[in-house]
Each structure stands twice: as structure tokens, then as C-alpha cells.
Amino acid sequence: MADDIARIEKRIIELEGQMDSVMQLSRAVIRFAGKAITAMHARHEKEAGEFLSSMSESMKRLKATEQGFEHYSLPAHQEYTEAMIVYNIIKNGKVPPMGEIGEAEIPYLLGMMDAVGELKREAFESMRKRDLATASMYYSLMLEIYDSTAHLRFAGALVPDFRKKQDTARIQIEGTISELVSLEGKAR
């Protein structure tokens, strides 16, 4: 029995170290994603690129480490996906396909829903600059994301907070169109 307990203790210590690494790398991905999105909004392209590069490197390390601890790393995958979607929309004007980002279904879906809020921010900034065409483009992409996912219903245990993210996206879309219509009316 003592030998079994010693092996169990050793294995749990190893798992604890792996979990600590997953948590640390997840925090790094989340931190770099947030900084990248902030730099994108500020149009600091070089800085955004550096943060995206650091985020991608941390994500590679996380993917190599996370086996068995994916529950803990899901928020990092979600934030990574959100940052990559926002980057691609700002750069190319379109939502990149899941395979292009290299993420699984659930983080892609959650990250895409979170990207709606960042697109709202871009739309409002465009409205502030009186660039209604760009604001309309961001609004259209927000609506496209929402409409493509509005019919989906999943258990919260399978896709955490998805329903809440759908509701939040809908509210953000309604607020954006309200402001856009108001500005278009004033522009006439």
C-alpha cells in the first residue's frame, strides 16, 4: 500500500505542475489577446502584430501542455479566437473560417459571439468619425454572426454561457442599429 500511495502522490504532483503550467499559459494567452484587441482598436498595427505573435506562441505552448486540462484552458482558446476574428475583420473585412484560426468548434463559437462586442466598438468609432459606410459594414458582420448562430441551443455544460452571449450580442446589435439609423437620419 505504501508503494501505491507514493506513486499516487508522485503522479498527482506531476498533474499539479501540468495544471499550473496550463493556468499560467492560459493567462498569458488571455492577456496578449486583450492587449492585441486594444492595440487593434487604437490602430497600432505593429504593436497589435507583436501581441498577436506572442499570443500565438503562448497558444502553441498551451496546446502542447493542456491535455486533460482543457476545461481550464477553454477561456484562453475563446479569447484567442476572438482576437483572431477581430484581427481578420479589421484587416480583411470578413469573419475567418474556423479552420483558418485552428480552433475547435466550441471556442470558435464562443469567440465569435464575443467578437460582436468588439465590432460594436469599431462601429461606434466609425460613427464618431462620421464614416457610416464602415459602421454599416461592422453592423452587417455583427448581424451575420448573430443570425448564423441564433437558432443554436445547447446545454450550458457543453457550451458554457452560449445563450448569455447570444442575448448580449442581440442587445449590442440593437444598440448599434439604433445609433446608426439615428445618424443616417441626421445625415440626410
Domains 1-103 and 112-188 are alike in CATH topology: yes
**Domain 1-103, architecture per CATH:** Up-down Bundle (1.20)
Q: What per-residue confidence (pLDDT) applies to 185?
A: 74
Domains of the chain, by residue range, sit at: 1-103, 112-188
Q: Could you report the average pLDDT of every consecutive run of 10 residues in the chain (188 residues)?
A: 92 95 98 98 97 98 95 96 98 95 96 97 96 96 96 92 96 95 77
pLDDT of amino acid 54: 98
Burial 171-184 (b: 16+ CB within 10 A, else e): ebbeebeebbeeee
CATH topology of domain 112-188: Methane Monooxygenase Hydroxylase; Chain G, domain 1 (1.20.58)
Q: Which of 103, 137, 96, 104 is nearest to 120 (CA)?
A: 137
**Closest by CA position to 176, among listed 151, 148, 145:** 145
Which pLDDT does position 90 carry in this prediction? 96
Q: Which residue has the cell 492585441?
A: 36
pLDDT (0 to 100) of residue 184: 78
